[in-house]
Amino acid sequence: MITALTGRDLAVKRGERLLFEGLDFDVRAGGAVVVTGPNGAGKTSLIRAVAGLIAPVQGRIGFHGPAGPIEPDEARRAGCHLIGHQDGLKGARAAREELLFWTRWTGGGAASAHRAAVLLGLERILPLEVRLLSAGQRRRLALARLIAAPRSLWLLDEPFVSLDGAARATLQEILRRHLEEGGMVFAASHEPLPVAAQILELGR
Amino acid sequence: MSAAGTLLARELRLVFARGGGPLLALGFFACVAAVLPLAVGPAPGKLALVAQGAAWTALALSMLLGLDRLFEPDLDDGALDLLALGPLPLAFVGAIKCLAQWLVNGAPLALAAPIVEVALGGPPRAAPMMLAAGALGSLAFAFVGGTGAALVVAARRGGLLIAVIVIPLIVPPVIFGGVAIDAYASGQPWAPALALLGAYALAAVALSPLAMGAACRNALG
């Protein structure tokens, strides 16, 4: 379980372009960070760097548990959820198959997947192929992983995109509960989070 | 269900979803075998001479089918990001993808190889070795092929590039398998060649995942 995330003196490059440098942040259990900034400022790249998918050119990202620092690869494999622009869902597979696979892959089971589907109002669309779902339904299917498998650090890249009013409210409630239970949220979002969050502004 | 089992079940379904699974590879295998007599000519003696080698080569080429879709869809739709955040390292993910490729395509091809060889007029006594070499060889082809697929996954439209990378790498197992089949059919000692083929397959199973893991990591960044 991850109880703190730190970034020190981070710099990330995409191609030849330096997106940001000297970036520091701290997230503790129950805390949230919202990354803001104009398009192309490096919000997605920062989230991918925390997820270990791209390597920062400088600085370090540290994960800590109750018993001290955790090896980053291990922390990411067992403690991180990522919701990105691409949802990783296969169009030709049934929504149920995809939800169950990603739930099991991230450490949950059939019962928790069912609970998540109920909470996000997905029961009726579970038998459908993913390619038949609307953008908002796909997004809810992707978000269901967050509840279906308990992991402490949520890396969310524009999690509210495509969601309707009711689904936004549900997600706000889910985030609030996750933070109350001692989880952490590291999000890029134009929408305010339902809790006090540290703002990390890129591209100034 | 363990994470590895869950992933294998998904990969098996995905291999089936990619163009009919074993039917596509078997169909290609049968087509190559059916076209060959048209090129070589109808004289039975001539065809019988090349039957074993032709069946063996066609099997190797059939294993290249579908490699371009092994990693690319997962990279395109973001699934590779999520696979990287799962309980198993990407090297293991690559190994399971290759294992699924072998189970769905390789094993049926190995079963079909003796039939194709005999149908082309080869000696029936070579059939057991066709099966054994086909099973071991297709295992090597699947893992070496997976390495090629992972290496070109970041380069778009890498389909043909995969073949260019993989074919030189599968030359040794093609030679070992060919020698083993020929020696078995002609009553010569066949064990050394089959052992070399097995050694190559085991080395591919052991080493390819490391290359696949690193290549996938590179493609994500």
Instruction: Give phi and psi for A62, each to the nearest 5.
Output: -120, 145
In sequence order, the β-bridge partners of residue A34 are: A187, A199
Compute the distance between CA of residue B37 and CA of residue B43 in angstroms, rounded to an integer: 9
Please list the ranges in chain B whose pLDDT falls under 50.
Answer: none
Distance from CA of A170 to the nearest CA of B (A): 23
Nearest CA in chain B to A54: B221
In this prediction, what percent of chain A has a pLDDT beyond 90? Answer: 87
- Please compute the mean of the pLDDT values over residues A9-20 and round it to a whole number: 92
Q: What is the pLDDT of residue A204?
A: 67
Residue type, A179: L
Q: What is the pLDDT of residue B132?
A: 96
Give the Å distances, CA to CA, from B113 to A7, A39, A203, B60, B116: 57, 56, 61, 10, 5
Flag if B3 and A105 touch (Cβ within 8 Å).
yes
- For B179-195, letters b (16+ CB in 10 Å) and e give bbbbbbbeeeebeebbe
pLDDT for A114 beyond 90: yes
The minimal CB distance from A107 to the residues B14, B87, B220 is found for B87
The pLDDT tens digits for B125-153 are 999 999 999 999 999 999 999 999 999 98
DSSP string for A61-105: EEEEETTEEE-HHHHHHHHEEEE-SS----TTSBHHHHHHHHHHH
Nearest CA in chain A to B85: A77
For residue B133, what are its two tokens? 């070499």
The pLDDT tens digits for A84-101 are 999 999 999 999 999 999
- Please compute the mean of the pLDDT values over residues A184-202 and round it to a whole number: 87
Q: What is the pLDDT of residue B54?
A: 93
Residues of A in contact with B74 (CB under 8 A): 88
Q: What is the pLDDT of residue B157?
A: 65
The minimal CB distance from B77 to the residues A82, A90, A104 is found for A90
Whole-prediction pTM value?
A: 0.93
Residue to test with chain B: of A73, A98, A105, most B Cβ within 10 A: A105
Flag if B77 and A80 touch (Cβ within 8 Å).
no
